[in-house]
Chain A
Amino acid sequence: MSQRPIAAPPAIPWAWVALGGVVVAAWAGLAATGGADMSMAGITLTISAAGAAAATGAAALAGATSLRQGWGLAAVLAGVLVLPVCLALAASGDEARPLIVVLPLVVALGVVGGGRTRAARLRAVGIAGIGTALLGAAILAGPSPTLVARTTTFGATIVIAAVLLVIAGAGGSVGVPALKPLLAVGALAGIIGAAAVPGIGVPLLVGAAAVGIAGIRPAVAVALFAIAVASLPGGQPAASLLAAAAVLAVALDREWGVVAALPGAIAMVEVLMFPGEIAPRVLIGATAALLGVQVARDVFLRPARDQHGEEGSRLAVPIELASVPGIIPRRAERHRLPVMVLAAWLLVAPGSWTWAGDAGITHYDTGAGRAVAVAALVLVTLAGADHRFGLRRLRMPA
């Protein structure tokens, strides 16, 4: 999977990069500060931290899409500017009707805007269309048009819709790119819905394991796993962190992006340690181990083939950097920089993602911060030492 060739995307102007970056940063800032109340034209809107985080994910996914003309541009603009607002409102427990109006619009624009093949477009229309219709029906059928799981039936419908949206969104980067923001919608809806349906975790885990073994898209497996974890008591924070990792992995369009799921997985371990039923915890733990092995096999660094060959050094060490394809975004992919920043933030300081709730991993931040600091210090020291060595050698006579 890590060997999948990455097509060279078209270069995107800095203005677009800046627009996406500003929108993502604004929503991320709102999420970090715990949300806000906004008054507009006499109407007061409450945006919760979780709602702002969901909006951040949707904007990041749309901003990381390299469609910048025609209907594709319209889809991206809707994904960056309109969809996050509607999603934030729905996630905050407010009005969810704008979301079910905007979702079909995004799907339609995205499919018209471009897809890899006609079959991919048809598949996307089918999956995303059914998911959107189910979500809309679940919201409109309730006593109030909000995205809050009240009954088991309501929750199950939302979860099914969420799974379809996750598949449509996570597959969007290879099928219909403009549908990526649906992943954020699906992840959010799934986490909300699964809390009302404890038994739905088992089929979701089976699905996540199947996707993980098939090795198609690790982000899909992580997203399904996140929804399954949300069905456990106290599993919402861990599920939110896992879903965030899936969103960022798809936005990065790199398989190794799922390593950002590490904090969520650790938070899940804390959840599994709560007293309660053993069977679901063992099932979740086993699935997590399976997914972890699969992901690790795909994204791990590989040892160099020849450590003691022609090239030698005092600290001959066995990592082949070339085994990580495209670890650094190319110039043409600078629109992914905001997502990279978010992924690094999640990987180093997940404890500061307070919108997810108390995940119980504040200790993680200390170790991760220390590791990053030490690694950076060593890298700088080594580069400086080698540079000095090079200068000294240049000054010496041959």
Chain B
Amino acid sequence: MRVEPPRAGVLGGQPRRPLTTVTPTTGAPATGAPTAPSPQRWEVVAGRRLHVALVSAAAAVAATSSGDAFLLAALLGLVAADVAAAGVAALVAASLTVRYGASSLGAVAGAQGVLGPALTVGDPYSIAASVAGALALAFVSPRGLPVLAFGLAAAAVVAGPDVSGPASLAIRIGGALVGLGLTAAATRYAPRRAARWVAAGLALTSVALATAGRFIG
């Protein structure tokens, strides 16, 4: 009796795989002595689910500009599983705090909603600080799913007004799309090691410019 192979793809596509559970990949060695102790199966599954959940949580906080900038920085660091990424995000949060006088993302969004996007309003130092902060987040993002959270966070820094009407909604959506595209491009084309150093430099520059904007500009 001929039996159709299970879910081999109706049109010859890839076999369907679950979202996060562990399945052997095609072409991988079936058995063999592992070179290093591998985590337990449930830990792999739980780690994957946890990561997707963290990315979603960070993206939700960034997209809705709710909560605190340092909380978002901590979430981004967890998403990247990288202390350097957390440090860069924390510096960007510090830059926002210096510019707006508060670390509340709601306050940042409210100010952008009333005054205009951070990219277009303010003295040159402050504008440059926002741009540098957004670029720092884009460059420090790891590849893959985390691009979603980092891109939305970058967008919230430069063009994340409180949504109070069609215009602000359009700015918000446009900013999010640009932020996601920029972050995806940065993770794809920039060498990772160099990108991390660039991001650190941009984040420090952002803090310095925000401070200059507060006291000079």
Contact = CB atoms under 8 A, between A and B. Distances in A.
A390 B21 contact: yes
Interface string A303-315: 1111001111111
Contacts of B20: 313, 315, 317, 382, 386
B213 interface: no
A368 B67 CA distance: 6
Interface residues of B, number: 66
B180 interface: no
B77 A296 contact: yes
Contacts of B40: 322
Given A368-B67, A370-B61, A383-B49, A310 B43 contact: no
Given A313-B20, A316-B48, A382-B20, A296 B86 contact: yes
B13 interface: no
Interface stretch (A59-67, A219-227, A371-379): A371-379
Contacts of A269: 70, 94, 97, 103
B90 A292 contact: yes
A387 to B, nearest CB: 9
B106 interface: yes
Nearest to A321: B47
Given A305-B36, A312-B24, A317 B71 contact: no
Interface in A353-398: 361, 363-364, 366-368, 370-372, 374-379, 382-383, 385-386, 389-390, 393, 396-398
A321 B43 contact: yes
A297 interface: yes
Interface in B22-50: 22-25, 28-29, 36, 38-40, 43-50
Nearest to B54: A375
A300 interface: yes
B78 A301 contact: yes
A332 to B, nearest CB: 20
A271 to B, nearest CB: 12
Nearest to B74: A262
Given A311-B44, A379-B49, A366 B18 contact: no
A300 B51 CA distance: 13
A11 interface: no
Contacts of A289: 90
Contact of B103 (A266, A374, A382): A266
B75 A371 contact: yes
A273 interface: yes
Contact of B24 (A311, A317, A370, A378): A311
A320 B81 CA distance: 9
Nearest to A297: B83
Contact of B102 (A273, A300, A317, A382): A273
B82 interface: yes
B47 A319 contact: yes
Given A269-B94, A312-B23, A322-B43, 15 more contacts: A259-B74, A303-B82, A313-B18, A313-B19, A313-B23, A315-B48, A318-B142, A322-B40, A363-B67, A366-B66, A375-B54, A378-B57, A386-B18, A386-B21, A389-B21
Interface of A: 259, 262, 265-266, 269-270, 273, 289, 292-293, 296-297, 300-306, 309-322, 361, 363-364, 366-368, 370-372, 374-379, 382-383, 385-386, 389-390, 393, 396-398
Interface of B: 3, 6-7, 16-25, 28-29, 36, 38-40, 43-58, 60-61, 64, 66-68, 70-72, 74-75, 77-78, 81-83, 86-87, 90, 94, 97, 101-107, 142, 144-145
7 contacts: A270-B103, A302-B81, A321-B43, A363-B107, A375-B56, A382-B19, A393-B7
